[in-house]
Structure 1
Amino acid sequence: MAFWGKKKKETNPDAREDRKAGLFRKLWQKLRNIDWKDPVTRWKVMFISLIGLIVVGGGSYGALTLTNSPTFCSSCHEMAPEYSTFTASAHNNITCVQCHIKPGTINMLTHKVKSLKEVYYHVTGVPKQIVQTEEEVVSNENCMQCHSKNRLVTASGDLKVNHKGHIDEGIPCISCHAGVVHAKMAARGINTDEVRGDFTKETAEKIMEKKYLRPNMGTCIDCHDKVNNGEKPWKDVSYLVPPNPEEVEKKIDETKKESVSETAKETTAKPAEGTPGSGTAEELAKAHEEKTQELILQAIGKQQKDVKISMSCETCHKKLNIPKTHKAVDWNQNHGTTAILKLDQCMNCHQDSKWIREIPKEDIISLLKMGNEKVIYTPNVTLAKDQARTNKFCAACHADRPAGHGESDQWLTAHASQAKTADQKAECFVCHDREKPAADSTSAKAPTDVYCQYCHRTGFKSDVKN
């Protein structure tokens, strides 16, 4: 016997009809009783069906229109940085989906289904930082809806870029124009969860610096260099998007665990040269500096190589001219004073950050306080010296022994007359330190390890200190 007891079998067949009919039973009975041969009835059914289609279709279209609008995207607080930079960009007259969804109804509907995961993330907890995934890379089809690929020069007329040649090669527009709307916030690390509530259009305007909106020269150089080495970096989608900080942290943790494990095993095997991860941090940093300096030497014509794409400046720049002052015969020996007086102008061309693809992390609070106002430079010997020590352009010459030093034995006994005044000493200290630098020193490292007190251990005759 069942737990709830057996169901009693009805003996009276009319009892079923006596029971109160449910909603669906009533509707079914009405449908069965309709006279479908009546023309009026058929017209009524057609009219009701038409109204139903209009309501359903209109509702679906309204839902699509709503979810396609930038206002809908901004309804989630985690999208505040992206939305505010969008409103401050030159693309604020189009919708988000015109860039982020490929053209076509099927692509639109497919994207809506995939976007349900964003709703899940919103409810369960948003990530610390919003980053573009490999699946969300903006395609060339989206860009071609508004832009022509037949452009050969930039709007300013300075850069010569064969856009058609790049696109025909399969290079995505986003590989160069990644910051045109959102100013590369993810790569800069300034759209994290703790600052999302501070983002407004005014805030975004402060961080929309031209160097992040325009193509990064370091990206062009890095890509061209890889092509010259037989690579096609744009084929790897991860090359086009900023690294996900959560995945980076995960890899770092895994690397630490592997390192601890290897140490526990007391492994003494040394990795082969040139393999990823081989060498100390200092060796890797040195290799990176040498690579950067090699590219700079190619650009300024001091190092010629048989390459597929020339790395010289005039390959891409149309209006790039060497200043008249640089053409003077003694410019190499006498440009130190100019560097101190006009360091900001020198850095317009001779800035290392323009030659590397990586973007340093930034502090959003400091950016908001400073804004993107132009800082007025005042002549500063210390800044010029530090820049000369660390800048790869300067190192291209400063790393070599100057011709004015002459023979070592003669220079050692005759250089005192060249280091009497504070200004003369400042020129010396571009390459040399006064005292032996400490191992943990945070100041810029001198190009040479020769320092004054190595010989002048009992002091200096001159009272002028620097």
Structure 2
Amino acid sequence: MAFWKKKRNSQNEDQEREKKPGLFRRIWRKLRSIDWKNPVNRWRLLFASLFAVVALSGTMWGAIAFTSSPQFCSWCHEMSPEFVTFEASAHSEIKCTQCHIEPGVVNTLTHKVHSLKEVYYHIVGPPDPIVQTVAVKNDNCIQCHSENRLVSATGDLIVNHSEHIKEDIPCITCHSGVAHAKVVERGLNTQKDLDYWTLENTEKLVKNEYMRPNMGTCIDCHDKVNKGDRPWEDIQYSLPDNPHKDGHGKSDEGHAEAAEVAVLTEEEQAAEDRKKVQGVILQALGKQTDDVKISMDCSTCHMEVGIPDNHQVKDWKQDHGTSAIQELNECMDCHQDSKWIKHFQKEDIVSLIDAGASRTKYNPDPAVAKAESRENNFCSSCHSQRPDGHLESDVWLTAHADKAETKQQKSECFVCHDEAKLLENATITAPTEVYCEQCHRTGLKK
């Protein structure tokens, strides 16, 4: 009997629970029961609506402001390279969004919606490396900068910004490293390197040469203009190469197909690129043979920096070896590859940190000068050509003895020649395959 009663009570409770309306239904019934003809109820609804709108707007604005701060970006470990370089840049006093979101409320809201994919990538794993795929617009830059600047802040570079803007050249084409020191091009923002990106390592990893416009960018673009191209019309020209062209961590099919039909090997392609760079350098030296729209001469872009006086003396081309050995560090101020090539070579972050921020002191060393002259595109563009002073080969063979008597004279010869035949795995090769022991089988006088 007790069991029956318990069961009966349970059934009654279930029936009562089923009859009790839910929360939303009770609210709806409450709203329907309100007398909306009463002015007091209408005013209550108005004030409640205003309060809800203000509260919602304030919450949204606060969320937008909070997620727009650089500190918010720094919370994600994968953004360490971008945050550290930003902190060291001239733009550290503004927000990231002032560059990366076009001006306007609509653009801000749209960008926040699109940025939800970054949350997804943060959870499942971000692309490696993170690459900028959307270029900074000119509208963002001119919020703070003038379009009419003619000379750089140092007073040396002649840069007619208004003329570049008239040609629709994006600011980012020249100023791509101004905020993030070209960490993508340098290969320093991979996942394995993130732990090295701390504020303590800033001076070792972020330097002015990566922040300022790269002379190689100017030269590359001017060279293409002289050939009738307008490279900046393709926005990819202004952005770093993206290995994830078809989504997160994927390559596009077109790129894969191109790789399959490529004729040149990696070594052949490197040689072709080297030849191209050296051709641009020779053009910049004033050896243009055709009419050009933009001269490559130093004075075209520089007011103060020009060809040094000692470079203009007679036979400088043949007699600069001694100066190169003694003052190689000064030579590299102008002739280093990074100033003449648009893209920086990949760097090793551990080596940069170990080397420190200070510039290594150079001690005159013929071996260092020889290696530099062979690897450096500027030097090898001339050193790969046979000097005029070598005369005809059959005459030079018996006439060069007095040109290679001293250690200093031999060091100049070894810029282009090796004493003995190099091993197959040699990393630094001479511009010529002719080596001394081909003839001097018994060796050389030391």
TM-score by length of 1: 0.85
In structure 1, what is the equivalent of residue 156 of structure 2?
A: 158
Cα separation, 1, equivalents of 2:172 and 2:304:
25
What is the match of residue 334 of structure 2? 349
The CA deviation string for residues 152-183 of structure 1, in whole angstroms up to 9 with x for no partner, is 11111111111111112111111111110110
Distance verdict in 2 for CA 1:75–1:283, change over 3 Å? closer
> 2:165 is paired with a residue of what secondary structure?
helix
Q: Choose 283-292 or 334-343, whichever is displaced more.
A: 283-292
Task: Give the superposition deviation at 1:52.
Answer: 1.5
The residue identity in structure 1 corresponding to 2:147 is K
Please say which of residues 212-221 and 190-199 is displaced more in the overlay: 190-199
Q: Report the secondary structure of 1:286's partner residue.
A: helix
Structure 1 residues 247 and 372 mapped into 2: Cα distance closer, same or farther (>3 Å)? Answer: farther
Question: Which residue does the alignment assign to 1:41?
Answer: 41
Q: Kindly tell me: are residues 184 and 57 of structure 1, through their superposed partners in 2, closer, same or farther at Cα, counting changes over 3 Å?
A: same
Specify the alignment match of 1:433 in structure 2.
418
**Distance in structure 1 (CA, Å) of the matches to 2:338 and 2:355:** 19
Cα distance, 1:250 vs structure 2: 6.0
Shift in CA distance, 434/252, structure 1 to aligned 2, threshold 3 Å: farther
Amino acid at match of 1:452: C
Equivalent AA in structure 1 for residue 230 of structure 2: K
Residue 99 of structure 1 contacts residue 142 of structure 1 at CA under 8 Å; is this kept in 2?
yes
Match of 2:73 in 1: 73
For the residue of structure 2 that corresponds to 1:349, the secondary structure is helix
Aligned to 1:105: 105
| Structure 1 pair 36–390 and aligned structure 2 pair: CA distance change class (3 A) | closer
- The amino acid across from 1:449 in the alignment is E
What aligned pairs does 1:63-462 form with structure 2 within 5 A after superposition? Answer: 63-133=63-133, 136-246=134-244, 277-443=262-428, 445-460=429-444, 462=445
The answer to whether the Cα contact below 8 Å between 1:128 and 1:192 also exists between their aligned partners in 2 is: yes
5+ residue gaps in structure 1? 1-14, 263-275
How far is the alpha carbon of 1:380 from its aligned partner?
Answer: 0.7
Deviations, residues 361-398 of structure 1 (Å, cap 9, x unaligned): 11111112223311111101101112223333333443
Please tell me the residue identity of whatever aligns with 2:47.
Answer: F
Of residues 393-402 and 347-356 in structure 1, the stretch that sits farther from structure 2 once superposed is 393-402
1:31 corresponds to: 31
Measured after TM superposition, the shift of residue 42 of structure 1 is 2.5
> Could you say which residue in structure 2 is the equivalent of 1:273?
none
Equivalent residues of 2:298, 2:306 under 8 A apart: no
| Alpha carbons 1:298, 1:305 under 8 Å: kept | no
CA contact (8 A) 1:129 1:192 kept: yes
AA of the residue aligned to 1:423: Q
Amino acid corresponding to residue 331 of structure 1 in structure 2 = W
| Contact 1:226/1:232, CA 8 A, preserved across alignment | yes
Q: What is the percent sequence identity of the aligned residues?
A: 55
Number of positions where the alignment pairs a residue of Structure 1 with one of Structure 2? 430
Q: Is the 8 A contact 2:298 2:307 kept in 1?
A: no
The answer to whether the Cα contact below 8 Å between 2:243 and 2:251 also exists between their aligned partners in 1 is no
CA contact 2:78–2:194 (8 Å) conserved in 1: yes
State how far apart, in whole Å, the 2-side matches of 1:78 and 1:363 are: 18
Q: 1:374 to 1:409 in 2, by over 3 A?
A: same
Q: What is aligned with 1:58?
A: 58
Distance 1:413 1:33 in 2: 117
Q: 1:198 & 1:394 partners in 2: Cα distance?
A: 34
Q: Residue 243 of structure 1 aligns to a residue in which SS?
A: coil
Which stretch shows the higher mean deviation, 200-209 or 374-383?
200-209
User: Residues 121 and 397 of structure 1: is their aligned pair in 2 closer, same or farther, counting only changes over 3 Å?
Assistant: closer
In structure 1, C-alpha distance between the alignment counterparts of 2:288 and 2:21, rounded to whole Å = 93
Native 8 Å contact 1:85 1:205 kept in 2: no
Q: Quick one: which amino acid aligns to residue 170 of structure 1? A: D
Evaluate the alpha carbon distance shift between residue 34 and residue 141 of structure 1 in structure 2; reply closer, same or farther with a 3 A threshold.
same
The TM-score normalised by the length of structure 2 is 0.88
The C-alpha deviation readout for 1:202-258, integer Å capped at 9, x for no partner, is 223321111110111111111111122222212222222212345599659998999
Task: Measure, in 2, the Cα distance between the counterparts of 1:142 and 1:336.
Answer: 48
CA distance 1:251–1:44, shift in 2 (3 Å): closer
Which residue number corresponds to residue 9 of structure 2?
A: none
Comparing 279-288 with 153-162, which one deviates more in the overlay? 279-288
Q: What secondary structure does 2:335 align onto?
A: coil
* 2:218 aligned partner, one-letter code: C
Q: Specify whether residues 37 and 255 from structure 1 end up closer, same or farther in structure 2 by C-alpha distance, changes over 3 A only.
A: closer
Whether the 8 Å CA contact 2:148–2:162 is kept in 1: the answer is: yes
- TM-aligned CA deviation for residue 80 of structure 1: 1.7
Q: Residues 82 and 180 of structure 2 are in contact (CA less than 8 Å); yes or no, is this contact kept in structure 1?
A: yes
Cα distance in structure 2, aligned partners of 1:156 and 1:178: 19
Change beyond 3 A, Cα 1:311–1:192: same
Supply the AA of the counterpart residue of 1:285. Answer: A
